[in-house]
Structure 1
Amino acid sequence: MQSLDEITQALARTLADRQLRVVFAESCTAGLAAATLASVPGISAYLCGSAVTYREQTKQDWLRVSAEDLARFTAVSEPVARQMAAGVLENTVEADVSAAITGHLGPDAPAELDGVVYVAVAQRQAQTVRVTSVERVVLATSTRSERQREATGVLLNCLKSSVEMDFV
């Protein structure tokens, strides 16, 4: 398995090779994905920023996540991850691609959501935004800080894979 640093360096190269700008919508990682990518010198040419939307109301206000979907599916769900990725890209006109993550890192998670994250990637196509991938991942680590780092790696890796497939 690649280290977080290796994933970050590979993603930075991929963004530069394809001349793509990215924006993040981060919930459970609380900005760690953007901060990790920002450690790469010169990344400001490709990193637009990150909306850290930890609370449900912030997801609604900043990213236009549906209150109905939050109530029906919870914040830790595929529909919410999709809306986060689409919303942040719609709000960041200079970005070409977005990646969003929402999940439950514990310790007081319901059993079915403990260590579960959803990652969505969206891309701008002409004047529209389209979600191109969504993944549900059960994290292997157990502590909150370990899970936050693992979730960051999952997010960056999903973004890299999606960009490599969709932007040839």
Structure 2
Amino acid sequence: MSEQPSLEDELQKTAEMFVSALRNRSVRIVFAESCTAGLLAATLSKIPGVSSSLCGSFVTYRNDSKSSWLGVSDEDLAAPEVGPVSETVARQMAQGALYKTPEADLAVSVTGHLGPDAPSQWDGIAFSGIATRSADSTSVTKFELRSQPEAGLSLRQTRQFDAALQVMRNALTHNSLCPGQAADC
């Protein structure tokens, strides 16, 4: 009887395919991670030769870091109708990371409440932003991991990583993240 691959093994395999797509398109990426606490960059960093594609990661777990490192608006972070877990902040995080990393072609941000002490209305909610230099645009996707409140923070971070990676792979597949007018994109 063969053993099922672990979630971490599956994510590593997906990450390897993503890095291969980055390399094939000569795209360099930077992350701005909050609720995933560096998991995206740490996972990609296990892939040999990834330095040709991975510029780094800003781990901005706290609001002060989001503001001072990435230029996220203090007003937006403090506003009850916006706050750190929002489309607005995910967009600003991705744009700030791209601005601070001139060698990157795209930036991906992740911000969310993954528990265990998240407000009930926000528990399991996360946003991922993708900013591209070539298209000068930023898109944001909202994720809901509400069905797994018992999963714990580590598993929820892993599931958020998987969700963000799927969005990034989809964007690469649909050719929206290609720098300039690359012929192979």
Output the TM-score relative to the length of structure 2: 0.84
Alignment of 1:40 with 2:40, yes or no, is no
**1:130-165 Cα distance to aligned partner (Å, 9 max, x none):** 21x211101243211100111111122212212222
Alignment of 1:75 with 2:84, yes or no, is yes
Residue ranges of structure 1 left out of the alignment (5+ in a row): none
Q: Secondary structure at the match of 1:49?
A: strand
Output the TM-score relative to the length of structure 1: 0.93
In 2, Cα distance between equivalents of 1:50 and 1:43: 13
Alignment of 1:138 with 2:144, yes or no, is yes
In 1, Cα distance between equivalents of 2:95 and 2:168: 14
The amino acid that maps onto 1:138 is: E
Residue ranges of structure 2 left out of the alignment (5+ in a row): 1-6, 179-184
In 1, Cα distance between equivalents of 2:173 and 2:73: 30
The amino acid that maps onto 1:102 is: T
Alignment of 1:93 with 2:99, yes or no, is no
Highest Rg: 1 or 2? 2
In 2, Cα distance between equivalents of 1:10 and 1:104: 28
More moved, 63-72 vs 21-30:
63-72
RMSD, aligned α-carbons: 1.6
Report deviation, 1:5: 1.7
The amino acid that maps onto 2:24 is: D
Q: Pairwise mapping of residues 141-152 of structure 1 onto structure 2 (< 5 A)?
A: 141=148, 142-152=151-161
Identity %: 45
Q: Secondary structure at the match of 1:3?
A: helix
The amino acid that maps onto 1:5 is: Q
Report deviation, 1:97: 0.6
The structure whose residues are more often strand, as a share, is 1
Q: Secondary structure at the match of 1:51?
A: strand
